[in-house]
Structure 1
Amino acid sequence: MTKLSVNINKIATLRNARGGNVPDLLKVAADIQEFGAQGITIHPRPDERHIRYQDARDLKSVVYTEFNIEGNPALKFIDLVLEVKPEQVTLVPDADDAITSNAGWDTVKNKAFLTEIIQEFKRHNIRTSVFVDPDLAMVEGAKEIGADRIELYTESFAHQYGLGNQKAILPYSEAAALATSLGLGVNAGHDLSLDNIRFFKQNVPGLLEVSIGHALIAEALYLGLDNVINGYLHRLK
């Protein structure tokens, strides 16, 4: 079964909108795990507009499944990850002012930079994943820099699938097959939803984990968090 890691950035956004502690981020993280999710993902950004750096520290004692911290490996982010020591760190090349992640790494162009960072995380026994587009050269580059896993950036698939283009899955199937053959684990995330997750899972070989936040929280407004999480778990079997 592919694991479901729930990104709770949007819970933090809602909390921050009023300046208090409603909703309680730590309680929501605990509830998400109780409902069956196998991981919690956060993506702190430098301006802390949703997840705060202190949230990462506080969540360490709450997350008993898998803790995944995503972000651009600036010095402050690296220091946070080394302090918290999550089970997984996912490196994402987003700009400081990006609304959301919008591209994968060029693992060839950034080989030296990423290799050094990944080696540092590995020295602390933190599994490393790199965010990449479904490009075979970028997958091969991920192997060269020493990553443990790739996370396939799925926005293009989700958009095309919503238009009825099922062939949009093909680059992802090929990238995942290559990654598996190279000994890389395969994660995926961005705009995956209850509508497209089953098809994605069925057509991407070796899919170990999906990280889902925005769509899942939006769906939970209508269906409830427990129901939505179990809907994903059912589709990922």
Structure 2
Amino acid sequence: MTLLSVNLNKIAVLRNSRGGDEPDILRAAHTCIDAGCGGITVHPRPDQRHVRPGDVRALATLLRGRVEYNIEGNPFAPPRGEYPGLIALAREVRPTQVTLVPDSDGQITSDHGFDLARDIDLLRPIVAELRDLGCRVSVFVDAGASGFESVAAIGVQRIEIYTGPYAHAFAEGRVQEELERCADTARRAQHAGLAVNAGHDLSQANLGTFKAAIPGLAEVSIGHALIGEALYEGLAATVRNYLQILR
């Protein structure tokens, strides 16, 4: 079955808006794990507007030996204040997977993937170091991306398809073209020996259609929609709903 990794960034956003420790990101992780999720995702950023380095470390202790731990981020963003950088955090906590994302401070959320042909030489030493740490390496790509053979050759093991455009097309009732682009991207990546993850704006409404179109989909990382839906149905129930869709 496709693994569900729950992104807890929005729990941290809510906590940070008031200060203090509530809602508790560790309790949220416990709840998601008890409900059956196979992984937890966080995306720390240098401005620390949601998940912070302390959260990354505390979650590593909680998750070890229980579920997969996926840390997303820009490997080229320099340290700032208490943020030591993505690779430094990976050295400390040794997550199951590091997903490399070319985001910047000016982005509200990730909104594009790497240009693999342009960025391959920059990614090469980063990928090598992460593999030496024992981390699985995934790179965030747009539907329609190319260059999968090259990134597989430098040690990348997975891609994560950016599904924001798919979700937008689904909401507007014009999904087929975007869905086919995602499916074609997945097929070409798999042909190059890469496993396929997906994430961004996936929801209970659109996940089933996406999953059906992507045979062998390894993992979905879902945060914004899942946490929003949990406000109405409860966190554990919402996680179980997603797991049922993936089955």
Name the TM tier (shorter chain). Answer: over 0.9
Q: What TM-score results when the alignment is normalised by the length of structure 1?
A: 0.97
Q: Which residue does the alignment assign to 1:70?
A: 72
Q: Which residue does the alignment assign to 2:11?
A: 11
Q: Which amino acid aligns with 1:9?
A: N
**Structure 2, gaps ≥5 residues long:** 79-84
Q: Which residue does the alignment assign to 2:141?
A: 132
Paired with 1:160 and 1:166, the residues of 2 have a C-alpha distance of: 5
Q: Does 1:196 align with 2:206?
A: yes
Give the 5 Å matches for 1:150-229: 150-167=159-176, 168-229=178-239
Distance change >3 Å, CA 139–CA 133, structure 1 → 2 = farther
Paired with 2:59 and 2:138, the residues of 1 have a C-alpha distance of: 20
1:14-65 alpha-carbon deviations (Å, 9 max, x no partner): 1111111111111111111011111000000001111001110111111120
**Structure 1, gaps ≥5 residues long:** none
Q: Which amino acid aligns with 1:115?
A: R
Paired with 1:65 and 1:215, the residues of 2 have a C-alpha distance of: 21
Paired with 2:9 and 2:116, the residues of 1 have a C-alpha distance of: 26
Q: Which deviates more, 149-158 or 93-102?
A: 93-102
8 A Cα contact 2:200 2:222, kept in partner: yes
Q: Which deviates more, 132-141 or 216-225?
A: 132-141
Paired with 2:210 and 2:148, the residues of 1 have a C-alpha distance of: 18
Q: Which amino acid aligns with 1:14?
A: L
Q: Which residue does the alignment assign to 1:28?
A: 28
Provide the identity percentage. 49
Measured after TM superposition, the shift of residue 140 of structure 1 is 4.0
Q: Which amino acid aligns with 2:9?
A: N
Measured after TM superposition, the shift of residue 219 of structure 1 is 0.5
C-alpha RMSD of the superposition? 1.1
| 3-state SS in 2 of match to 1:128 | strand
Q: What TM-score results when the alignment is normalised by the length of structure 2?
A: 0.93
Q: Which residue does the alignment assign to 1:119?
A: 128
Paired with 2:208 and 2:90, the residues of 1 have a C-alpha distance of: 32
1:140-182 alpha-carbon deviations (Å, 9 max, x no partner): 4432432100000000100001111131200111111111111
8 A Cα contact 2:131 2:155, kept in partner: no
Measured after TM superposition, the shift of residue 224 of structure 1 is 1.0
Measured after TM superposition, the shift of residue 198 of structure 1 is 0.4
- Corresponding residue pairs, total: 237
8 A Cα contact 1:139 1:175, kept in partner: no
